[in-house]
Amino acid sequence: MKLRAFCDVLEKLAPTRYAAKWDNVGLLLEPADCFVERVLLTNDLTSRVMKEAVDFKANIIISYHPPLFREFKRISQDNWKDRIVTECLKHNIAIYSPHTAHDAWAEGVNAWLIEGIIGHSNHSPISPTIDSRETYEISGKVAESVNRKSFRKHFNKTKISDSGDISGRIFKRDLPKLSEKYLSEIENFQLLCLGSLPVVGTGMGRKGELAEQMKLNDIVDITKKHLKLANLRLVTANDKTSEDMVSTVAVCAGSGASVLSHAGKVDLWITGEMGHHEALDAHENNTSVILAEHSNTERGFLESFKAKLMDNEQIKKRDIQFVVSDVDSDPIKVV
């Protein structure tokens, strides 16, 4: 599969427009004439993972964290990230990073994280994503001469009844096409600007209720099992113990204090890391916190993402091999 076609699949699964504005996501390194046959997935693209990718003969590395973030003024052998860039170019390996697009994705990192804890998919984003594309509600009636199939293809969020009545939504970018091709063929045409709307199920962090109350220490055990960890750090809420019951949980993979602070009143936060003062605030506000270290709350999603890719209809038609890095790990160990 051609590199751009493969990236289109990644984009359709988790649109990069849903990523945080400060982030650097998408296709970060594009070698000439790159054809995708072997894909390596990793949370962090380190020098050890780079060697693994070369040995695997990968054509593209999907690195959750973007290894290229700040502007490059020169590329030398003095910095480990520079060396990774030159190694990728030398071996014709592309780099794609989804990062916060996967955080926001309805089937992404945070959904995987909370579902492994609460055991069901009834959860919602803490900070919903607002679609930056201006949206319009359209109504009217198309003439008999209009090709209905072609209209629906151009405006796939709309419906046309048997009698020709139009309903649905279009984006601002669609207006020139609508005006040029169809406007003269629509009776009783109306267009209502809806502005920018929340994207259903998409956004940063997740919160939800347990089907049944559980003791905090039991949730700690479930979290260890889900993340495949022997140790965690625990902040117990003020005047609570690990034997106290938990009903509501909020999660944010990685460094989640800023997102979790908007979760409202919940019994437990789960994230990778936070500072002393954020942990103290949670404690004093009667919220317990599980800290698993930054990338430990993200890395487990890679196997789930690999399965989604292998199940994609466009990819199933191609002979593409996927592997999750064996050497990628969080640099911080709790001992």
Phi, psi dihedral angles at 108 (to 5 degrees): -95, -150
DSSP code, position 319: -
* Residue at a domain's end among 162, 177, 195: 195
Q: Is 141 left (phi over 0), alpha (psi -120 to 50) or beta?
A: beta
Which strands, in side-by-side order, build the sheet including 198-215?
123-130, 198-215, 245-255, 268-273, 288-291, 233-235
Average pLDDT for residues 27-52, to the nearest whole number?
Answer: 97
Tell me: do 227 and 114 sit in the same domain: yes
Cα–Cα distance for residue pair 323/249, rounded to 1 Å: 32
Judge whether 151 lies within some domain: yes
Please state the residue numbers annotated as binding site.
65, 103, 294, 298
In the listed set 178, 195, 212, which residue is the last one of a domain according to the structure? Answer: 195
What pLDDT is attached to residue 204?
98
Per-residue pLDDT, averaged over 212-216, amounts to 97
Does residue 197 have a pLDDT over 80?
Answer: no
The total number of structural domains in the chain stands at 3
pLDDT of residue 107: 96
The widest CA-to-CA distance across the chain, in whole angstroms, is 73
Q: What is the pLDDT of residues 164-175, one digit of tens each?
A: 999 998 888 888
pTM: 0.85
Binding-site residue numbers for a divalent metal cation are 65, 103, 294, 298
Note the pLDDT of residue 194. 81
- Regarding predicted confidence, which is higher, 54 or 178? 54
Rg value, the chain, Cα = 23
Q: Which ranges of the chain does DSSP label H, i.e. alpha helix?
A: 3-13, 47-56, 80-90, 100-104, 109-118, 148-154, 175-181, 216-227, 257-260, 276-284, 301-310, 313-316
How many Cα atoms within 13 Å fall on the side-chain side of residue 296?
A: 24
**Weakest-pLDDT range from 45-49, 102-106, 175-179, 211-215:** 175-179
Q: Which residues of 193-224 are buried (b: 16+ CB within 10 A; e: fewer)?
A: eeeeeebebbbbbbbbbbeeebebeebbeebe
Structural contact between residues 217 and 242, judged by C-beta atoms closer than 8 angstroms: yes
Q: How far apart are CA 1 and CA 34, in angstroms?
A: 9
- φ/ψ of 62, rounded to 5, equals -95, 105
The confidence score (pLDDT) of residue 330 equals 96
Between 20-24, 189-193, 237-241, the lowest mean confidence (pLDDT) is in 189-193
CATH of the domain at 35: 3.40.1390.30
Residue 54 has pLDDT above 90, yes or no: yes
Mean pLDDT, the chain, as a whole number? 94
| One domain, residues 119 and 222 | yes
Return the amino acid letter for 76. S
Place 216 in a pLDDT band, splitting at 50, 70 and 90: very high
Q: Write the CATH number for 176.
A: 3.30.70
Going by C-beta distance under 8 Å and a sequence separation of 6 or more, which residues neighbour residue 280? none
**Domain-located, residue 251:** yes
Question: Across-strand partners of 248?
Answer: 209
In a domain, 228, yes or no: yes
Structure tokens belonging to residue 62: 């999907």
CB 63 within 8 Å of CB 96: yes
Give the structural domain span for 278.
106-129+201-292
Which residues make beta-bridge pairs with 94? 60
